[in-house]
Structure 1
Amino acid sequence: MTDLFTPIILGPLTLPHRVVMAPMTRARSTQPGNIPNTLMADYYAQRASAALIVSEATQISPQGQGYSFTPGIHSDEQVAGWQLVTRAVHRAGGRMVLQLWHVGRMSHPVFHDGGLPVAPSALSPEARVWVAGEDGIGRMVDCLVPRALSRDEIRAVVDDFRRAAANAMRAGFDGVEIHAANGYLIDQFLRTTSNHREDEYGGPREHRLRFLLEVVDAVAAEVDPARIGVRMAPFITARNMDCPDIIPTILQAARELSRRGVGYLHLAEADWDDAPQVPEDFRRALRETYDGRIIVAGGYDAARARSLLASGLVDLVAFGRAFIANPDLPARLRQDLPLAGFDAKSLFGGTAAGYSDYPAATETAAGVTAVAA
């Protein structure tokens, strides 16, 4: 029976178990320039026992940024910074992919020289983003109504994804994950609630899928499709993204991604209290539609993860918050050790405190308070 610690093949990668580190924004890049650094290298290397590390979301261009201090993958300095990270992870025996990110309308003019963020259509997300002021303190600020991308600008963004993928491979990553979830740019194109275009990128399902598939094809020109993942969010409705057609849209996307040989789909599932459960019929439909590996993330603990893996409907489970304070999470889950809690105040921005200073289980005192994974 498949368990959390059953090995698995993921494209060209042999993974020793099924415990993935989910992408988590931590906002520790060096400024100016949003450059990855040795602090980040320490943090990720400490967590190299994950079956696979998915990096924090990383903007493909200056236009793609929506939060302060998040790293990029569009400058030579950023590539060199990420090389520090991948070398440290590989030396520690780990495997890591870079998550490629364009936030679209989930942004603020402070990141765009006073200009508006971009989106498929000029529709507000009615959401907020984390922006650091001149004092260096981050605060949540309201997003504005974005401006709609022109066709030529859409083509330029597709090429930004291609170039970012090439940079990721230069930086030494084992693959890339395309962020098409959580109300960011690609997700905005997929949904009728955020895409009101009347050209070939809007309207019918096939048109709303066009941007995603153009991005995938562009990335696949630089990266073996077996080394590509796509993250999607079928049941997340925040940020004005409650689209009545999103489930059939995602299943159609899965068919197209399977045809292209994309290595895995990564489902971001709702993880708040009383969140909707993902229906089993959707999981079965996705399994029947998509030939690659399926990763799920969304507040899983070890028991729920094992149950879902045993069903055969998913292949790997990603853990987010549990990896923050438990750098050795796979060992703790394997040995049924208690899990440490994390300091929520240090999640975004700051120093090593609440970032790379959490000890492994062998370094902790007895009686650590257990929390959900």
Structure 2
Amino acid sequence: MPTLFDPIQLGDIAAPNRILMAPLTRGRSTRDHVPVDMMVDYYTQRATAGLIITEATGISQEGLGWPYAPGIWNDEQVAAWKPVTDSVHAAGGRIVMQLWHMGRQVHSSVIKTQPVSSSATATAGQAHTYEGKQDFEVARPLELDEIPRLLNDYELATRNALAAGFDGVQIHAANGYLIDQFLRDNANFRDDNYGGSVENRIRLLREVTERVISVAGAGRTSVRLSPNGDSQGVDDSNPTALFLPAAQMLSDLGIGFLELREPGPDGTFGNTDVPKLSPEIRKVFTGPLIVNSDYDSADKAQAELDTGIADGISFGRPFIGNPDLVARLQTGAPLAKDDAKTWYSQGPEGYIDYPAMETAAA
């Protein structure tokens, strides 16, 4: 069996180890969703990961409702991301951009228009806005004649990500965001070609993936799914019947890797006792399979690899407080605790001031 520290080929990307940095929203960009200078330090500090997957990055203003999150739909954003990729590459790292459309998980005060979704639904609870927490609003259904525009947005975002120097992209189809809202039947009540049957509900995921592949190539395209239970109010009555065909479709398209976010009872953005689907998905997805959520030690992650289900592990919160997470896992050094109060704050505190092992010891 491979170890966490063995290399792996993720499509066209040769990763030196099987410890991926999971996408982590940190809210350090400008109000215009332009990356800032300290993001260069943040990602470069973590360049020893086998592969960095960036924080979720908006493909359009319509799809980006998280305050101070970055975008990739205009030239200013592309230019601001370029120093990040240059620095990560200079440090020997690899980095892909996660492409994000939040669908109904936004507020009009941030996106400046009514949210869109698969159907006219609303998320329970409140959205993060520049004015604090506000109740989620009812989304309008995305019209059939708007689907081509959405696909064009994904294509432009992919072209921009490659122009900014990224090694590839990941399509965010998890966590109750737009594509997930089309996938799962408690959010999708459409009666057209994008609703009803499983084949119809996975259609948008297929079309988005095909469009991204047409620009980046299959080997530089990956997808994230969250198949086991509720995620931000989005769920399905029969996840096995849905996500196995979805994974089979992605396998047939030959994507570079598939990442599965499978939270346990204490997971963020969805917590569930629903059994993990990764063992079943492993049977139909033939490419590299990466699993995520609640891995906080080398032993726990290695045990997952030893099952033969996963080919790699993506670590989220441990990478916040441990920029040198790979070295700490390899040497058995203790992991530093991250500060939840600074997860989404705008300054350097809790962002680029976590020391590496040598500095901490000194």
Structure 1 unmatched runs, 5+: 134-138, 367-373
Task: Name the TM-score, length of structure 1 as normaliser.
Answer: 0.93
Q: Does 1:295 align with 2:290?
A: yes
Task: After TM superposition, give the deviation of residue 7 of structure 1 in Å.
Answer: 1.4
Residue in structure 1 matching 2:189, options 196, 219, 231: 196
**How has the CA–CA distance of structure 1 residues 85 and 272 changed in structure 2, closer, same or farther, with 3 Å as cutoff?**
farther
Report sequence identity in percent: 46
Residue in structure 2 matching 1:143, options 124, 136, 141: 136
Does structure 1 conserve the Cα–Cα contact (< 8 Å) formed by 2:26 and 2:345? yes
Q: Does 1:161 align with 2:154?
A: yes
Distance 1:76 1:250 in 2: 36
Q: Which residue of 2 aligns with 1:62?
A: 61
Task: After TM superposition, give the deviation of residue 128 of structure 1 in Å.
Answer: 2.5
Q: Which residue of 2 aligns with 1:207?
A: 200
Distance 2:78 2:115 in 1: 25
Q: Which residue of 2 aligns with 1:222?
A: 215
Task: After TM superposition, give the deviation of residue 276 of structure 1 in Å.
Answer: 4.3
Describe the superposition over 1:220-244 as per-residue Cα deviations: whole angstroms up to 9, x where unpaired: 1101101111000011303322211
Q: Which residue of 1 aligns with 2:12?
A: 12
Matches within 5 A, 1:320-339: 320-339=316-335
Residue in structure 1 matching 2:312, options 298, 311, 316: 316
Distance 2:103 2:355 in 1: 37
Counterpart of 1:85 in 2: which secondary structure? Answer: helix
Describe the superposition over 1:328-368 as per-residue Cα deviations: whole angstroms up to 9, x where unpaired: 000000000011111111110321111001110000037xx
Distance 2:127 2:262 in 1: 20
The letter of the residue matching 1:29 is S
Q: Which residue of 2 aligns with 1:341?
A: 337
Q: Which residue of 2 aligns with 1:267?
A: 260
Distance 2:229 2:70 in 1: 25
Matches within 5 A, 1:354-365: 354-365=350-361
Task: Name the TM-score, length of structure 2 as normaliser.
Answer: 0.96
- Tell me whether 13-22 or 98-107 shows the greater mean CA deviation: 13-22
Counterpart of 2:99 in 1: which secondary structure? Answer: strand
Count of matched residue positions in the alignment of Structure 1 and Structure 2: 358
Distance 1:154 1:245 in 2: 26
Distance 1:25 1:51 in 2: 19
Describe the superposition over 1:132-156 as per-residue Cα deviations: whole angstroms up to 9, x where unpaired: 23xxxxx332211111111111221
Q: Which residue of 2 aligns with 1:127?
A: 125
Distance 1:21 1:130 in 2: 24
Counterpart of 1:222 in 2: which secondary structure? Answer: helix
Distance 2:180 2:235 in 1: 11
Distance 2:83 2:188 in 1: 39
Distance 2:154 2:272 in 1: 32
Q: Which residue of 2 aligns with 1:136?
A: none
The letter of the residue matching 1:185 is L
Task: After TM superposition, give the deviation of residue 271 of structure 1 in Å.
Answer: 4.4
